[in-house]
Structure 1
Amino acid sequence: MTERNTAALARKRLFAGVPDEDVHLALAICQRYGLDPLLRHVVLIPGGKDRRHNVYITRDGLLHVAHTSGRAWSLEVEEPKRMENPYTGKPDIYLRGRVRVYDPDTGREQVFEGGVWFSEYAQKGGSWNSHPAAMHQKVLEVFLLRRAFDVAVTPVEEMGVDHVESASMPVSPACPSPARRPGSWSSWAWPTTERPPVGWPLWWWVGRCRGTPIWALTRPKRFWPGCAPWSRRWRRQTFP
């Protein structure tokens, strides 16, 4: 499969609904570090008020960078220790490790050490509840690999999210638009991601329904199942 076909398939299956600028940025980062978007070496997570998507590298992507670097390296993780966190003064779990990288050009071995506190990265729900030890070790691994192999992209595990969970995160909270039939009205106003003012006044609804046929407003379940403006499902999907 060529590079162009890989980018097109990733755009269609993995980055559907993401703005083109964000997708181009993710593909450029993949090209810079030799990553494969189909293997989820990078992920796009929505964030911010402007609904832009941030690019994050996964642990699998960092391992790919390490294995293709051409240098011999090893990763060591110590046993977790329960002690008092000096930054919070509360009991916490500290995990420490190191990455050893051998440079064949200089004949020297470089050691990158570091540790992470459990409370600084743990999140409620998801893999942090079912596999806390594995997630804690993932955070330490990406922390060390990023330093050892000079990767400037933030790992998604450092944000407290597993790359498997990030793949199932919704791209857009908007309700899917209905399919248009030949000869139907072309000025349907739904769905919209515009947030209504406080109180949901009548003039806002009149502006949203302008140009919408009356039969479509009186029969929302038949033509727009779950997307009627007064349904709970539509409000929950459109205004999270």
Structure 2
Amino acid sequence: MNDFFEHLGDILFLDIETASLTAKFDELDERLREEWIKKERLIKTNTEGKIEPGSLYFDRAGIHAEFGQVVCVGVGYFQWKKKEKKLIFRSKVFSDPEERELLVAFSDLLEKKKWVLCAHNGKEFDFPYLCRRMLIQGVPLPEPLQMAGKKPWEIRHLDTMELWKFGDYKHYTRLELLASVFGIPSSKDDLDGSEVNATFHLENDLDKIKKYCSRDVEVTARVYLAMHPQLDEMEIEVTHSEELKKEHKK
């Protein structure tokens, strides 16, 4: 049990929220507009008939790193208080009007410690998206996101969705569904992932997105603990720290 808690403190749970690069398709760089139209033809939709070029941009561009941007990164980790037999979950959300500054701040945190990264569907979305946007923004990849040339077991990435698959590669499970089956409070009371782009571009409400992102990180962490039933009765105290990146040093 002690070994579990020691390793638990090395896991950095994270979640990213993304939006399209621009609020309107015609504001996109001309070359990117041409490329989006080509990609748009490959996107499967229920739309019948001809699709107007650019009509899917606002709703779909944010999930593609070449046409989207990271608007916030939520992170959190557990601290084990042995005497009190209590877990403290500390979290923070990185955000900045300039995506590059946000990514640099997040990268600095990743270099503070030999973290194991954990996200829901992180191997398919969060981790590669972050890598692509960092390279586009000219930010060197921090060590935990450097995957080129590494053997699979050398990459310190965990994925709660992959853990739940138990080898079933065709099985996709939403984080909200896992939260439901484990009795974990929802993160989607005020906002859903499909509403992030409109909230960012039309409502200009980054704080609302940050709160949603922070809750998603906590839900991911709680789902991870739920996969270890021996910890069911463990008391968890949640705190939000603006100084998270200063709390860990090499």
What range is the shorter-chain TM-score in? under 0.3
Determine which structure has greater relative contact order: mean sequence separation of CA pairs < 8 Å that are 6+ residues apart, divided by chain length: 2
